[in-house]
Amino acid sequence: MMTYVYTILGLLCLSLTGAFAQLTSRIDCFYPASWEGRETRIVVKPRDREMFFDTAFVVNRHAIFTITVDEPCPAYIWIDDYPEDVQLFIDAPAISVAIDPVNLPAPLFTGSFSTDIWRQKLQQDHELAEEQEALRVERMTNLPLDSLHAGSFEQFTDSLRAGAEYLLRKHILDHPTAPSSWYLFAANFPMASFAETKKAFDALSAFQALPSYQIIQQKLEHNRPGQQAPDFTLKSVTGNDSITLSKLPGDLLLIDFTVLFGVDRDTHHKRLTRLHKQYQAAGLTILSIGADFLLKDVENAPELITKIRQQYPWRLGAVAEQATTLDAYLYKGWHDTILLDKNRRIVAYNLPFDGLEREIRQRLSK
């Protein structure tokens, strides 16, 4: 029954926000009488622009804000001399917030479909972050960070990241009509694989009136398996030449978004080295792109260039100075991979390593 009610409320919110290019929300905050005259502030956090705030004072127990945003987004309310920020989600034209520490066990919200769901997710994220940090500290305390143990630590952090993303996907799929779910999806786009990203996107079809939905829909279409990969040119990290995708040799091309520095890259790099040694002669080309790298870092550091060349016997480009060149691709950062065929059509994104090697082996054996 509650799921049905939430769905109806969510669709109502969507019908109100989808009818306009922007959402203007009147947020009426109700406070205890003893808070008269206090300063209060709302801090708004849109996904695609800088956060901003508005300030008001409590008058007759009320403070009212009028906020205009391009799409539904989170915010929090700060009150002078109150110990915690009050999180909410702006997704409706009129939202009421009642805050009374004496008479209410928690802030009470009406008008917003997503706020309760959003606050539950924030609490879950906070608890998960605390658990993960404790595990990281324990692991780093017990494992010396030499080359042998760095791989174990990398696998550990990868498993934590995968667990967090699983919970995010589950939350989105559990609440597909909540505006906060679209915000979370768009803010974390793309997800681990094209298939998982597309599954979550398809579940969120109620948001097709939003401008960001159209943008992501086009990007997914352009990046689905079988599509021609957009060409690009990057500067080489270890040479004076440029690297152009369409000019690279090989029957298969593996694009690897990497970090050049840090202990949590060891296992990933060893796997790529093994792929390079085993399949280069059969037609595999690897292109790593340093997502944490600026060319100016090595301009006057020949010893560092020599070290990088030893670590990367394949091509290595720098993305940090030309990030817009790769905006057409689905990638978030380090350890993301894209496999392209001989005609530079997309085969797959972010396959698990065993699946990636199997795909490479099968395609090169034909």
pLDDT tens, residue by residue, 276-326: 999 999 999 999 887 655 555 555 666 767 777 777 888 888 754 444 556
Looking at the fold, whether 248 and 334 belong to one and the same domain comes out as yes
252: confidence class by pLDDT, cuts 50, 70, 90: very high
- Given this model, what pLDDT does residue 156 score? 65
Taking residues 240-259, report their average pLDDT. 88
Looking at the fold, whether 243 and 330 belong to one and the same domain comes out as yes
Residue 162 falls within a domain, yes or no? yes
Looking at the fold, whether 242 and 209 belong to one and the same domain comes out as no
Looking at the fold, whether 247 and 348 belong to one and the same domain comes out as yes
Looking at the fold, whether 355 and 241 belong to one and the same domain comes out as yes
Residue 10 falls within a domain, yes or no? no
Cα–Cα distance, 24 to 67 (Å, whole number): 6
Residue 7 has pLDDT above 60, yes or no: no
Give the residue numbers spanning the domain of 190. Answer: 117-142+149-223
How many domains does the chain divide into? Answer: 3
- Given this model, what pLDDT does residue 19 score? 42
Looking at the fold, whether 216 and 254 belong to one and the same domain comes out as no
Looking at the fold, whether 211 and 248 belong to one and the same domain comes out as no
Residue 328 has pLDDT above 80, yes or no: no
Residue 340 has pLDDT above 90, yes or no: yes
Give the CATH number for residue 72.
Answer: 2.60.40
Looking at the fold, whether 234 and 333 belong to one and the same domain comes out as yes
**Domain-terminating residue out of 178, 197, 223:** 223
Residue 25 has pLDDT above 80, yes or no: yes
Looking at the fold, whether 239 and 340 belong to one and the same domain comes out as yes
Query: Is pLDDT larger for residue 268 or for residue 159?
Result: 268
Average pLDDT, the chain: 84
Which of 28-42, 152-166, 277-291, 345-359 has the highest average model confidence (pLDDT)?
A: 28-42
Residue 188 falls within a domain, yes or no? yes
- Given this model, what pLDDT does residue 173 score? 96
Residue 156 falls within a domain, yes or no? yes
Give the CATH number for residue 246.
Answer: 3.40.30.10
Residue 350 has pLDDT above 80, yes or no: yes
Residue 142 has pLDDT above 90, yes or no: no
- Given this model, what pLDDT does residue 306 score? 73
Residue 82 falls within a domain, yes or no? yes
Residue 34 has pLDDT above 50, yes or no: yes
**Domain-terminating residue out of 191, 223, 255:** 223
Residue 2 falls within a domain, yes or no? no
Residue 4 falls within a domain, yes or no? no
- The share of the chain scoring above pLDDT 90, in percent, equals 54
Cα–Cα distance, 78 to 65 (Å, whole number): 12
Query: pLDDT tens digits for 85-121?
Result: 999 999 999 999 999 999 999 999 999 999 999 999 9
What is the 3-class SS of the chain, one letter each residue? CHHHHHHHHHHHHHHHHHCCCCEEEEEEEECCHHHCCCEEEEEECCCCCCCEEEEEECECCEEEEEEEECCCEEEEEEECCCCCCEEEEECCCEEEEECCCCCCCCCEEECCCCHHHHHHHHHHHHHHHHHHHHHHHHHHHHCCCCHHHHHHHHHHHHHHHHHHHHHHHHHHHHCCCCHHHHHHHHHCCCCCCHHHHHHHHHHCHHHCCCHHHHHHHHHHHHHCCCCECCCCEEEECCCCCEEEHHHCCCCEEEEEEECCCCHHHHHHHHHHHHHHHHHCCCCEEEEEEECCCCHHHCCCCHHHHHHHHHHCCCEEEECCCCHHHHCCCCCCCCCEEEEECCCCEEEEECCCHHHHHHHHHHHHCC
Looking at the fold, whether 282 and 296 belong to one and the same domain comes out as yes
What's the distance, Cα to Cα, between the start and end of the chain in Å? 55
Mean pLDDT check: name the lowest of 114-128, 195-209, 253-267.
253-267
Residue 143 has pLDDT above 70, yes or no: no
Residue 170 has pLDDT above 60, yes or no: yes
Looking at the fold, whether 278 and 264 belong to one and the same domain comes out as yes
Residue 283 falls within a domain, yes or no? yes
Query: Is pLDDT larger for residue 260 or for residue 104?
Result: 104
236: confidence class by pLDDT, cuts 50, 70, 90: confident
Which of 20-29, 40-49, 136-145, 234-243 has the highest average model confidence (pLDDT)?
A: 40-49
Looking at the fold, whether 60 and 86 belong to one and the same domain comes out as yes
Residue with tokens 């597909």: 176
